[in-house]
Amino acid sequence: MQVGPAMRRMRKVLSWAVFLITLLAVAMATGWSRADSAHQAQNRPKPTAPAQALRTTADHTRHPALQQVFKSGRDVTAACLSCHSEAEKQFKQTIHWTWIGYTDEKGKRLGKAGDSLNNFCLSANNMQDKACNSCHPGWQDRQQGVNCLTCHGRKPINWSEAFEDYNAFADSDDPEEIEIAAEIQAEIQAAARSIGLPTRENCGECHFKGGGGDGVKHGDLDTSLTRPEKTLDVHMGMDGQNFACTRCHTTVRHVVAGRIYSKPAFEERTSLIQDDLSAKITCESCHGATPHQPGHKADDHTDKVACQSCHIPSFARALPTKMSWDWSQAGRLKDGRKYAEKDSLGKETYLSIKGAMRWEQNVRPEYAWFNGSMRTLTVKDTIDPSATVPVAAPAGSPGDAASRIFPFKIHQGRQPYDKVHKNLLAPLLSGPDGYWTTLNWPEALSRGMQFSGVPFSGEFDFVDSTYAMPTTHMVAPKENAVSCTECHVGKNSRLADVPGVYMPARDRSRALDSVAWVVVLASLLGVSLHVLGRIFSNGRHRNEV
């Protein structure tokens, strides 16, 4: 049966109609899907930690030792030690308790409880500056023993106030006060039973607030890492791996892996494939020495450039960090009173008790060769006041196989020094006799140096200083890593001040440039002669034909 032209046209029209209707339906479905996705994305809640099974084999809320009445912090520690018998003994051998890293070959004690200082709060005065002791993991003071819950407690509580209030009401005959005591004791018991492995909140209570406040000291450590998104830190992001600090800072017998002044955090860059018992403190531990896709040019850099240099494009990305602190400006008054000034970020730029300060956010690091060891000064070291004093500086060099180009926060300071003995000074800051109360430099310096056991001439001035801190947290997602052209560029290269390495685009050699141009010109000449030869050859061939 033959189909006429009219029928063929009708079929063609119907086919196109079906096609257009189908296309319209797909487009509408896609639009609805996108709109729905956009609506869901807009209303998506902030990242939360993925549900995890209990990682321990004990439920502390059921332990008989934790069902008692606790009248003091020491009672809580005794309950912990009834099971964890060696814990306190182990912990008291660590730097977290002693605040002494080690004593060097010259007899200088490196640590907050020793001779070390910085250009932030300057010194802990052999632990005599009580404001610094707020971060010490003991009950009120070192004599009352270890507070296990500083690191292992999950329920925030002001222990000092809780015990003081409980003991004030516990012996009362007043029914109302007895009821108050019972409520306080219930809070104490709930906190004592809320136990677990250290969280970012536990570690951050001190390390996020080093230098006297949130984000002051490190730049790559602040309270934004308590519940971060993956864009801030791919390892700690709650919508990602949600790592606790101890995932990398592995711990054995309460000794936490990490750098201690001039002692590197690691002896060798070993992957867990090579040694599955090594500390997971380096990037290579998990990612290996060549972490990129086979043939990727970035793997040619890992023997000279630290992973952090590319994968931490900036620090203080969520909260500002303090970048300079001038103690010489402290002591000014307004109308006879101490005063404060703040910047647009809401951070204090001047305090009568502390001087002038500058804060920055989303800061590009500075770069230097680093072998994992820091050169640090103490109150016993002689300085040159005619130059900027490096209170802490990275050790390393281009020729050192252990060194890598590493990112740092460089904090600028201006701090007191002894004009006669030529050493940095450690004033007493807190307490009734400290500078924050008296605003009297000679008196505060004299008291502080007495605690340090170092002579003070009585003559002082202020000197410019720097303090370098390695930047190793706030690892960005790989798509936000530093691009090649941020370093390999003639102007404003990230590595402009890094010596001892030849970098294409950043550096030039006249001799090498001359050789290259000779090669280029010779190549052009050769190509030109070849083209001319072909032209003449083709012309002759046509004439012959």
The CA distances from residue 232 to 201, 318, 440, 494, in Å, are: 16, 8, 42, 21
Task: Round to whole Å and give the CA distance between 356 and 462.
Answer: 13
The DSSP string of 115-139 is TB--SSS---GGGT-TTGGGGSSBS
Point out which residues pair with 376 in neighbouring strands.
392
Distance CA 446, CA 467 (A): 24
Cα–Cα distance for residue pair 277/256, rounded to 1 Å = 14
CA–CA separation, 193 vs 65, rounded Å?
Answer: 10
Torsion angles phi and psi, residue 177, rounded to 5: -70, -35
Task: Specify the pTM.
Answer: 0.82
What 3-state class would DSSP assign to 373?
coil
Look at residue 44 in the predicted model and tell me its pLDDT: 47
SS3 label, residue 324: strand
Q: How far apart are the C-alpha atoms of 462 and 449, rounded to whole Å?
A: 16
Residue whose entry in the numeric block shows the structure tokens 């998990």: 286
The first and second tokens of residue 495, run together, are 């590595």
| Alpha helices (runs of H) in 258-359, residue ranges in sequence order | 283-287, 307-311
Task: List, for the chain, all residue ranges whose pLDDT scores fall below the cut of 50.
Answer: 1, 3, 18, 30, 32-44, 50-52
From CA 493, how far away is CA 516, in angstroms rounded?
A: 23
Determine contact, residues 91/85, Cβ cutoff 8 Å. Answer: no
Copy the structure tokens of residue 467. Answer: 């303090």
Q: What is the DSSP string of 375-443?
A: EE-BTTS---TTS-EEEEEE---TT-TT-EEEEEEEEEEEEEEETTT--B-----SSTTSHHHH--HHH
Residue 520 burial (CB count, 10 A): 10
What confidence tens digit (pLDDT) does each residue in 114-140 have? 999 999 999 998 888 888 888 899 987
